Chains A and B, each alone.
Chain A
Amino acid sequence: MIETRELCKQYGRITAVDGISFRVEAGQVLGFLGPNGAGKSTTMKMIAGFVAPTSGGAKVCGFDVEAQPLEAKRELGYLPEGAPSYGEMTVAAFLGFIADVRGLAGERRRQRIDDAVGRLNLGGVMGQSIETLSKGFRRRVGLAQAILHDPKVLILDEPTDGLDPNQKHEVRGLINAMAKDKTIVVSTHILEEVHAVCNRAIIIARGKVLADDTPDKLEARSRYHQAVSMTVANVAAAREALARLPDVDSVEVDPQDQRITAFPRKGRSIFGAVGDLLKAQGIAVSELQLERGRLDEVFRSVTQGAAKEGARA
């Protein structure tokens, strides 16, 4: 369980984090979204107990990170931004060091290291020094370090940054596998990741929470939500016919690939009507899709809206 209340951080006159409050329960995977410099990493550093907040506070499993730092840190697995580690150490020595600091000993130590190494496929590089590893492997060493003591709370700052698509898929699988009984916070600016791993998403910009919802509900805020996109042979005829449908608000044609998107009036569903219309008019359709809503569009409108307000203020 993670709880933050009115978390603020100021660097001189710059406010990096401005009153962030949220609560994440076990079983939740929270995606932390925001443009670069929004305050994602600073918030995570404060929860992890690395940076002291200017005001407000954070609790990990009920332990205040400032008043009871050791208890809070014991419950926490943390992957800092950029997955730093000690480059001159071998992977085996590094994980051994973390296991010692985490107080793992004997059979359990061996078992936990084997588990983390297995989950992240590090078996082949155990004897290599970390600085000679590729970026993807270094990130996985950082992840192994974070999950080594099987913590109740995981904070992962950009866990898939620098990984290739296969590795990304594996790491997402890893997070999903651990999600059931842990509290996980993942920061990312890869929006597809939110769908793949998160059951809740918070969008922050300029240090403030702008949206806090499930990924599905965030997508429903998109104007693409329930819109219908299609590729047809006769673009002009289809466009004209679609515009005449009563529930269609507007029709747009992508200038690049000539794909047509029909947007419904608020709260209406047009998929059936569009299908019937195309059939009735005998328009040849090579592809037809009901849009769920586009997270990147919601992200842009939410964060850029905030930027404009900020510029005005």
Chain B
Amino acid sequence: MNPIGIVFRRELASYFATPVAYVFIVIFLLLAGWFTFYLGGFFERGQADLVPFFSFHPWLYLFLIPAVAMRLWAEERKSGSIELLLTLPITMLQAVLGKFLAAWAFVGIALALTFPLWITVNYLGDPDNGAILAGYLGSLLMAGAFLAIGSCISAATRNQVVAFILTVVVCLVLLLAGLPMVLNVLGVVLPQFLVDAIASLSFLTHFQAIGKGVIDLRDLLYFGLMIGFWLYANAVVIDLKKAD
């Protein structure tokens, strides 16, 4: 078996060996439901789609994903198991990828457990299931980008609380960069091409683009590059700081 797969399996099993997994999944589902039905006005809108569900995902992830990511490397460093992991015959890239993919798969499981919502809209009406699938894909990709950021920051500290807070801040900046009100303010002081550049760096812009049901290669590329960049930085950070 591939070393990435072995690390992946161990890591994923470790989520379910502790209450972390169950607490996360329950909270995620409760909040997702609450956002959808109360804040999103799922029934009141009278439309058979999952827009109110997906539109709150960025804000849901802002706090929940850093909570998953914070332990990825900080805990390895704190317990010293990082020394064991990195002296096994696997490469740094395999270790980073295996752990990241496990966290991503875990969030994916939580996301997949929202399927009753999909059944509900299909029962109530006749939704565009293609758009819903695209929404799930965009949501999963955005979760991956959040996780990659969190994984990198988690590698820089052995304190999980610090990792959590820093990840929330970085993710918040990347989210806010796409909000119309932020962009309008920036538009007053910055030339348009810079505002566009900032907007194009935002999670929100690309997530909403995919959520419309239009899967553009550029949006996929954006999330791919985002994940790749942060994971590469993750490996570099571990190399620099592993022995501290």
- Residues in A lying within 8 Å of B, measured CB to CB: 45, 48-51, 69-70, 73-74, 76, 78, 80-82, 84-89, 93, 97-98, 100-103, 129, 145
The stretch among B10-18, B147-155, B225-233 that forms the contact with chain A is B10-18
Interface residue from B6, B14, B80 paired with A88 (Cβ < 8 Å): B14
Is B196 part of the contact surface with A, judged by Cβ < 8 Å? no
The answer to whether A70 and B89 have CB atoms under 8 Å apart is yes
Quick one: which of B4-25 are within 8 Å of A by CB? Answer: 6-7, 10, 13-14, 17-18
Chain B: CB-nearest residue to A46: B243
The answer to whether A70 and B13 have CB atoms under 8 Å apart is no
- Residues in B lying within 8 Å of A, measured CB to CB: 1, 3, 6-7, 10, 13-14, 17-18, 79-84, 86-91, 242-243
The answer to whether B79 and A87 have CB atoms under 8 Å apart is yes
Additional pairs, 17, CB under 8 Å, beyond known A51-B242, A70-B91, A85-B84 = A45-B83, A45-B243, A48-B83, A49-B86, A49-B87, A70-B90, A73-B87, A78-B87, A80-B80, A80-B84, A85-B81, A86-B81, A89-B13, A93-B13, A101-B3, A101-B90, A145-B84
B residues in contact with A88, CB < 8 Å? 14, 17-18
The answer to whether B88 and A98 have CB atoms under 8 Å apart is yes
Q: Nearest 8 A-B pairs (CB), nearest first? A: A84-B80, A73-B89, A80-B83, A88-B17, A100-B6, A84-B81, A48-B87, A51-B243
16 contacts between A and B (CB under 8 A): A49-B87, A50-B83, A50-B86, A51-B242, A74-B89, A76-B87, A78-B84, A78-B87, A80-B87, A81-B80, A84-B81, A84-B83, A87-B79, A89-B17, A100-B6, A101-B88
Tell me, rounded to whole Å, the shortest Cβ–Cβ distance linking B105 to chain A. Answer: 17
A78 to B10 CA separation, bound complex (whole angstroms): 20
Chain A: CB-nearest residue to B79: A84
The answer to whether B14 and A89 have CB atoms under 8 Å apart is yes
Interface residue from A86, A101, A129 paired with B6 (Cβ < 8 Å): A101
A residues in contact with B84, CB < 8 Å? 78, 80, 84-85, 145
A226 to B107 CA separation, bound complex (whole angstroms): 70
B residues in contact with A102, CB < 8 Å? 88-89
Which of B14, B80, B88, B90 has most chain A Cβ within 10 Å? Answer: B88
A70 to B83 CA separation, bound complex (whole angstroms): 15
The answer to whether A97 and B79 have CB atoms under 8 Å apart is no
Contacts A45-B83, A85-B84; A100 near B14 (Cβ below 8 A): no
Contacts A70-B91, A73-B89, A101-B6; A129 near B83 (Cβ below 8 A): no
The answer to whether B86 and A97 have CB atoms under 8 Å apart is no
Tell me, rounded to whole Å, the shortest Cβ–Cβ distance linking A12 to chain B. Answer: 11
The answer to whether A50 and B243 have CB atoms under 8 Å apart is yes
The answer to whether A86 and B14 have CB atoms under 8 Å apart is yes
A residues in contact with B10, CB < 8 Å? 86, 89, 93, 97
Chain B: CB-nearest residue to A82: B80
The answer to whether A73 and B88 have CB atoms under 8 Å apart is yes
A226 to B6 CA separation, bound complex (whole angstroms): 57
A residues in contact with B3, CB < 8 Å? 101
A49 to B84 CA separation, bound complex (whole angstroms): 11
A101 to B80 CA separation, bound complex (whole angstroms): 18
Which of B17, B83, B84 has most chain A Cβ within 10 Å? Answer: B84
B residues in contact with A93, CB < 8 Å? 10, 13
A85 to B10 CA separation, bound complex (whole angstroms): 12
A residues in contact with B14, CB < 8 Å? 86, 88-89
Chain A: CB-nearest residue to B18: A88
A211 to B17 CA separation, bound complex (whole angstroms): 48
A residues in contact with B18, CB < 8 Å? 88
Tell me, rounded to whole Å, the shortest Cβ–Cβ distance linking B117 to chain A. Answer: 31
B residues in contact with A85, CB < 8 Å? 81, 84
